[in-house]
Amino acid sequence: MMNMQKIAVLTSGGDAPGMNAAVRAVVRRGISYGMEVYGINHGYEGLMHGQITLMDAGSVGDIIQRGGTILHSSRSEEFKTDAGQQRGIDELRRKGIEGLVVIGGDGSFRGAQRLSDKGFSTIGIPGTIDNDISGTEMTLGFDTAVNTVLEAIDKIRDTATSHERIFVVEVMGRHCGDIALWAGLSGGAESILIPEVNVEITDVIHRLLEGNKRGKKHSIIIVAEGVCPASEIAQRIKKEAGLDTRVTVLGHVQRGGSPSAFDRMLGSRLGAKAVDLLREGQSGKMVGIQRNRITEVDFADVFTIENDIDLDMYELSKTLSI
Amino acid sequence: MMNMQKIAVLTSGGDAPGMNAAVRAVVRRGISYGMEVYGINHGYEGLMHGQITLMDAGSVGDIIQRGGTILHSSRSEEFKTDAGQQRGIDELRRKGIEGLVVIGGDGSFRGAQRLSDKGFSTIGIPGTIDNDISGTEMTLGFDTAVNTVLEAIDKIRDTATSHERIFVVEVMGRHCGDIALWAGLSGGAESILIPEVNVEITDVIHRLLEGNKRGKKHSIIIVAEGVCPASEIAQRIKKEAGLDTRVTVLGHVQRGGSPSAFDRMLGSRLGAKAVDLLREGQSGKMVGIQRNRITEVDFADVFTIENDIDLDMYELSKTLSI
Amino acid sequence: MMNMQKIAVLTSGGDAPGMNAAVRAVVRRGISYGMEVYGINHGYEGLMHGQITLMDAGSVGDIIQRGGTILHSSRSEEFKTDAGQQRGIDELRRKGIEGLVVIGGDGSFRGAQRLSDKGFSTIGIPGTIDNDISGTEMTLGFDTAVNTVLEAIDKIRDTATSHERIFVVEVMGRHCGDIALWAGLSGGAESILIPEVNVEITDVIHRLLEGNKRGKKHSIIIVAEGVCPASEIAQRIKKEAGLDTRVTVLGHVQRGGSPSAFDRMLGSRLGAKAVDLLREGQSGKMVGIQRNRITEVDFADVFTIENDIDLDMYELSKTLSI
Amino acid sequence: MMNMQKIAVLTSGGDAPGMNAAVRAVVRRGISYGMEVYGINHGYEGLMHGQITLMDAGSVGDIIQRGGTILHSSRSEEFKTDAGQQRGIDELRRKGIEGLVVIGGDGSFRGAQRLSDKGFSTIGIPGTIDNDISGTEMTLGFDTAVNTVLEAIDKIRDTATSHERIFVVEVMGRHCGDIALWAGLSGGAESILIPEVNVEITDVIHRLLEGNKRGKKHSIIIVAEGVCPASEIAQRIKKEAGLDTRVTVLGHVQRGGSPSAFDRMLGSRLGAKAVDLLREGQSGKMVGIQRNRITEVDFADVFTIENDIDLDMYELSKTLSI
């Protein structure tokens, strides 16, 4: 067991529900080991500018239920440079801090890996609603985002049913269709379009017309933003099938909201695990959840292993939405 | 007291939460008077095509909590003609129906008034989320829609605060800024743009910059769709103040969802009152809520009296969002 | 117009959603008039112990959406005495404070009236979920509480329907049946028992058995705590009708939660109005909402006028729950 | 691959959110294989009385979002006898049904095993909010129930914080502390009492007093119903520490509500898998989720293997609630 006395934590990239639970866990787990735990404001940008404050157990009280991140987040171009990274390390060392927990997404972990490569102990926690990180089956914030999208689908279904109309709903997910797939399957969407599976819009239209014949008068189509704009699909449906179609782009509501039980649990467990790893002298790793167990994986693997979609689930969604 | 034996109810125009509560109230109040109550499917369109079914107390069980309308809704061009209206009346008379309750918005009431002018007893219930109908302080669905928008604002605020960013949120309201005003004031929005009040975007930007000086790093601007697209405002802010700004267009989620207690109450009370008026031999009127009492008003007044915004509330929103 | 420079605000008695919106409005309205506004912690207890802090516009930022009260609340025996009240006034005068806003219920207003009688300008804001205060049609927190109870009823209905069972749900309301009546009517409860209307449990059982004959296999009975314990009703139903009956006592969840749009609006408007009254040199009054307008009423009237239930609504609930 | 043509599905025991998603999946997966799928009303009781109806794809439309079970549920003493079980099999065979899916808890599976022992192909789906079934890491309804409890804790915290009070919240779980543990950990509860871990109330009181010394003025204690009544704990705290303590028993709201995304997914996947197993000629098994994969396990193992609590999580809750 290392004798690490001072650690710090920051949040980086897009905010995600559950980040506060993770911050709380890092702070309180650290304190339970007798460490001093520092919070860094505004991510890497704040790190380079020395926005580093000592936190106590009370400073993370009453935050587990809040969306966003109390440490604020930001994106930093300067930190992508060697000079920026060194500046960050200097700020940390000036305060005697020996270990860092970075809560964020893929891009944030590249910065974390550089810190680790430069000899500063750094552990990552996957915090992003997109579920697009390899080495963990769920990212922090994903479960909450899926439930938020689901609530929106449930609401839109009220109007779709009342007016017997077709809706195309665009959800987040530039490279990963998990939000679309999970929310679509659990929302009973008639079609789900994701970047991982190539589907012709002609097929979607064919499905619509078939459903119409069976008496299904309304339809909800979920499309991940990485596929194409929802408006494009609506126009094609109008043009090729003559069916009036409405569009909703869910946008930033998907990021916010009080975290679900799962995300608060996951944040708590990953935060505690990250401190445990630092304490054991480990670095350059991400903590995650795999096969329902808290695990760790090298950043190198996070960047190289492909993040697969569950194709069985995709096929299931087609079977169940007849 | 008239001896009306058979009445019918339909929903028309955009669906609104609380319509089902009103349908339930019409059916059960009618039954309590010994009437037969018929449900008409698909609004005026269905009326002209004889989609008229007898309802019993059980047929409106377990619907008070549901969004949308179990009677379905539609818009009809044909019903705007005399021939269409007469066709509707013929269908009703063929079944021996003597009175009709129309749940819908302004446009639906014009049809209702024509039926009344042609001698068919018709009462209107204001059902639309927009709160844009004169002669009632609240329309059915407005309270639910405001709470839905508010939840979205609360979620967006999480990200706005975490990233210290500006958001422009576009909400429904083509001619009436009530959704924007209520949700903006209760959501603590920094600026609210509504069709009833002419505001220069320059002033909005000025407010933003002033707030920035006082240390307010995030801002939420609510704009009713009738003012201008949210994207236009975002572009001007970016261009004129150099501030990065995100846009969310809430869209159709605003129409759906389980109705709030207020909308279920209002629907129940208006539905019962509409039946009472038919029973008293009245016609050509809308029931509504004014000064917290259930009231009635002639359709003629609904169409001619201007629907005012509460300017005190608008001024208050400016005072409180400093 | 008085030249009042310094005012204070406190919350007292049971907490209610919307209190924070009212505190925010008092602070920011005061600031907009150039006043200094002080927050008093822990109600009258804190007042007597000088827990008084200057607030700025930022200190009430990001609180409008929060349940409870950031100023904390408490009950105080000492403040019921002349000595206690004088001690409070002394603390206020020591800081140069000339006016006080008290947010709370009936009991809190008795203290407020005593302060006013002793020459200290005091205005009350009705903050309690019970809606049991005369001189205002709605108290702050009532709308949120009704919606919270409604959500619970909607959930319980799932089980009631699935198992075809009878449930008795006990809600808050010792002297006032408004929560029971509103939530019961909007939740479609089969029977509603409130302190204002004397109903024999035999009648409730009779209704149950009649419903059973018509094929209604499940029932939800709402009872205000002021009538009798829910368990007593369940036992009588079991004994006299042989029907298995489940009991749920909703308890303290009814007080909490993010305030509804209505309560945030009401809190904002009442808070602003209270400051306006102090500024005009008024005292010994409660602000409220009557016939949908913000009004003011003497404390004396608040204490003497009886708070009526809307019996039409009660009758309506019986008609609609067949 | 067997040539099974007709299967049936029933729900049994306490209802749980997600049961409708599972019913929908059984019906539609079956139809996709060209089977006829029958729904049995009122569980085993209805089975014995031949309440068996053919379902089509439309009959499970618009149900995935609903709590409870559209097939209704019940408990049956008669079905525990050989005669009752044989009667059920006879009813199924009379309709030519060859396979049965039983959605329910431990008790329901004992009946299912007897059917399988008697030669009737039967597969179980674990549907209960309690998460007390071996052979699956999550039962259907558990995730929704935890989130429901969490919302209640968040609300109670508002009052606990505002009044600086202690609350004891009693949640479901007679033999299994999972709801208490998950909701308590994610709700930031100060103490969690579960049947699996023996804790002296003296220790809970000691923790309270220690927290008090550090300035923590409010506390939430979660207790699973299997430990002892919440009121007992409150009385001991009052008596031994002199601290005023409030009690809330959450009750039946925990069973209801629209299912979470996870429960809709799980229900969909388990329902489809159950049909797949029947089609493969399997029987006497439960489908479940283990290490995040859909799996199957013999009923015999479900009954004999002990269902463990995650003690790491329990320890973590103590670390994080300081």
Report strand pairing: A36-40 vs A52-55. antiparallel
| Residues B133, B172 share a domain | no
Classified as helix, coil or strand, A171 is: strand
| Residues B246, B106 share a domain | no
pLDDT band at D258 (very low <50, low <70, confident <90, very high): very high
Average pLDDT over residues A281-293: 96
Find the closest chain C residue to D67 by CA distance: C158
Q: How far away is chain B from the Cα of C73, in angstroms, using its nearest Cα?
A: 23
| Residues C92, C17 share a domain | yes
Average pLDDT over residues B5-15: 96
- Which two structure tokens, joined as six digits, stand for A77? 């171009």
**Residue A135: which residues within 8 A CB-CB, separation 6 or more?**
A126, A286, A288, A290, A295, A297, A301, A302, A305
Q: What is the pLDDT of residue B205?
A: 94
Write the DSSP symbol of residue D257.
S
| Residues A110, A169 share a domain | no
Q: What is the pLDDT of residue B8?
A: 98
Q: What is the pLDDT of residue B178?
A: 96
pLDDT digits (tens, 9 = 90+) for B280-316: 999 999 999 999 999 999 999 999 988 778 889 999 9
Q: What is the pLDDT of residue B2?
A: 58
Q: What is the pLDDT of residue B3?
A: 75
Q: What is the pLDDT of residue D64?
A: 96
Q: What is the pLDDT of residue A2?
A: 58
- Which two structure tokens, joined as six digits, stand for A249? 């782009």
The annotation status of B203 as a binding-site residue, yes or no, is no
Asked if D148 lies within 8 A of C161 by C-beta distance, the reply is: no
The annotation status of C230 as a binding-site residue, yes or no, is no
Indicate whether D3 pLDDT > 80: no
Identify which of C72, C159, C164 has the shortest CB distance to residue D256.
Answer: C159
The annotation status of B165 as a binding-site residue, yes or no, is yes
Nearest to B221 by CA among B176, B164, B168: B168
Identify which of A31, A62, A154 has the shortest CB distance to residue D161.
Answer: A62
Q: Write down the pTM of the prediction.
A: 0.96
- Which two structure tokens, joined as six digits, stand for C285? 């009054």
Last residue of a domain, one of B256, B277, B312: B256
Question: How many H helices and E strands in chain C?
Answer: 11, 11
Taking the CB of residue B9, how many other CB atoms lie within 10 A of it? Answer: 29
**Residue B171: which residues within 8 A CB-CB, separation 6 or more?**
B149, B179, B180, B183, B222, B223, B224, B225, B250, B254
pLDDT band at D2 (very low <50, low <70, confident <90, very high): low
Give the domain range for residue C120: 6-141+259-303
Last residue of a domain, one of A256, A283, A312: A256
* Count of domains for chain B: 2
Q: How far away is chain A from the Cα of B221, in angstroms, using its nearest Cα?
A: 14
pLDDT digits (tens, 9 = 90+) for C210-229: 888 888 888 999 999 999 99
| Residues B120, B266 share a domain | yes
Average pLDDT over residues D246-263: 96
Helix, strand, coil percent content, chain C, rounded in steps of 5:
45, 20, 35
Alpha carbons A269 and A22: distance in angstroms, whole number: 8
| Residues B121, B147 share a domain | no
| Residues D192, D118 share a domain | no
Q: How far away is chain D from the Cα of C317, in angstroms, using its nearest Cα?
A: 23
Nearest to D295 by CA among D313, D309, D279, D276: D276
| Residues B222, B177 share a domain | yes
The residue type at A119: G
**CA quadruple A237, A241, A244, A250: dihedral, nearest 10:** -20
All residues of chain A having their beta carbon less than 8 Å from the beta carbon of residue B246 are 252
| Residues D270, D250 share a domain | no
Asked if B320 lies within 8 A of C25 by C-beta distance, the reply is: yes
CB C197 within 8 A of CB C180: no
Write the DSSP symbol of residue D127.
B
Q: How far away is chain A from the Cα of D145, in angstroms, using its nearest Cα?
A: 10
Alpha carbons C270 and C26: distance in angstroms, whole number: 9
- Dihedral over Cα of C199, C205, C206, C207: its sign: positive
Q: What is the pLDDT of residue B217?
A: 81
Q: What is the pLDDT of residue B307?
A: 78
pLDDT digits (tens, 9 = 90+) for D259-295: 999 999 999 999 999 999 999 999 999 999 999 999 9
Q: What is the pLDDT of residue B220?
A: 96
Per the domain annotation, does C314 fall within a domain?
Answer: no
Per the domain annotation, does D321 fall within a domain?
Answer: no
Asked if C182 lies within 8 A of B214 by C-beta distance, the reply is: no
Per the domain annotation, does B295 fall within a domain?
Answer: yes
The annotation status of A34 as a binding-site residue, yes or no, is no
Question: What is chain D's mean pLDDT, rounded?
Answer: 95
Per the domain annotation, does A292 fall within a domain?
Answer: yes
Report strand pairing: C293-298 vs C285-290. antiparallel
All residues of chain C having their beta carbon less than 8 Å from the beta carbon of residue B266 are none
- Give yes or no: D310 in active site: no
Core vs surface per residue B64-103: b (16+ CB within 10 A) or e? bbbbbbbbbbbbbeebeeeebbebbbebbeeeebbbbbbb
Distances (CA, A) of A98 to A7, A42, A82, A279: 6, 20, 19, 10
pLDDT digits (tens, 9 = 90+) for D44-68: 999 999 999 999 999 999 999 999 9
Q: What is the pLDDT of residue D214?
A: 80
Alpha carbons B299 and A205: distance in angstroms, whole number: 43
Q: What is the pLDDT of residue B211?
A: 84
pLDDT digits (tens, 9 = 90+) for A245-271: 999 999 999 999 999 999 999 999 999
Asked if A158 lies within 8 A of B73 by C-beta distance, the reply is: no
CB D132 within 8 A of CB D175: yes
Nearest to C106 by CA among C294, C259, C299, C296: C299
Among the listed residues D130, D132, D143, D263, the single catalytic one is D130
- Dihedral over Cα of A180, A185, A190, A193: its sign: positive
- Which two structure tokens, joined as six digits, stand for D13? 């025991």
Per the domain annotation, does A44 fall within a domain?
Answer: yes
Core vs surface per residue A218-253: b (16+ CB within 10 A) or e? bbbbbbbbbbeebeebbebbeeebebebbbbbbbbb
Average pLDDT over residues C237-244: 92
pLDDT band at A219 (very low <50, low <70, confident <90, very high): very high
Alpha carbons D282 and D277: distance in angstroms, whole number: 5
Asked if C251 lies within 8 A of D255 by C-beta distance, the reply is: no
Question: What is chain B's mean pLDDT, rounded?
Answer: 95
Indicate whether A140 pLDDT > 60: yes
| Residues C265, C136 share a domain | yes
Write the DSSP symbol of residue C235.
H
CB A195 within 8 A of CB A226: yes
Q: What is the pLDDT of residue A213?
A: 86
Looking at residue C125, which CATH number applies to its domain? 3.40.50.450
- Which two structure tokens, joined as six digits, stand for D203? 């220790």
| Residues D219, D102 share a domain | no
Lowest mean pLDDT among A184-198, A283-297, B1-15, C55-69: B1-15
The annotation status of A24 as a binding-site residue, yes or no, is yes
Question: What is chain A's mean pLDDT, rounded?
Answer: 95
Average pLDDT over residues C18-30: 98
> What are the contacts of A294-298 at 24+ separation with CB within 8 A?
A294/A269, A294/A270, A295/A135, A295/A136, A297/A135, A297/A136
β-bridge partners, C289: C294
Q: What is the pLDDT of residue B81?
A: 97
Distances (CA, A) of B111 to A267, B17, B118, C159, D289: 56, 22, 11, 42, 56
Alpha carbons B119 and B125: distance in angstroms, whole number: 19
Q: What is the pLDDT of residue D308?
A: 80
All residues of chain B having their beta carbon less than 8 Å from the beta carbon of residue C262 are 143, 186, 262
D: neighbours with 3+ CB pairs under 8 Å?
A, C
pLDDT digits (tens, 9 = 90+) for B80-139: 999 999 999 999 999 999 999 999 999 999 999 999 999 999 999 999 999 999 999 999
Q: What is the pLDDT of residue D1?
A: 54
pLDDT digits (tens, 9 = 90+) for C57-110: 999 999 999 999 999 998 899 999 999 999 999 999 999 999 999 999 999 999
Per the domain annotation, does B80 fall within a domain?
Answer: yes
Per the domain annotation, does C317 fall within a domain?
Answer: no
pLDDT band at B39 (very low <50, low <70, confident <90, very high): very high
- Which two structure tokens, joined as six digits, stand for C37? 């506004």
Per the domain annotation, does C321 fall within a domain?
Answer: no
| Residues C210, C88 share a domain | no
Find the closest chain D residue to A185 by CA distance: D265
Q: What is the pLDDT of residue B1?
A: 54
Last residue of a domain, one of B201, B231, B256: B256
Looking at residue C215, which CATH number applies to its domain? 3.40.50.460
Q: Which residue's entry shows tokens 């500018």?
A: A49
Identify which of D28, D143, D291 has the shortest CB distance to residue A322.
Answer: D28
Identify which of B68, B158, B251 has the shortest CB distance to residue A256.
Answer: B158
The annotation status of B253 as a binding-site residue, yes or no, is yes
Average pLDDT over residues C31-40: 97
pLDDT band at C306 (very low <50, low <70, confident <90, very high): confident
Asked if C257 lies within 8 A of D156 by C-beta distance, the reply is: no
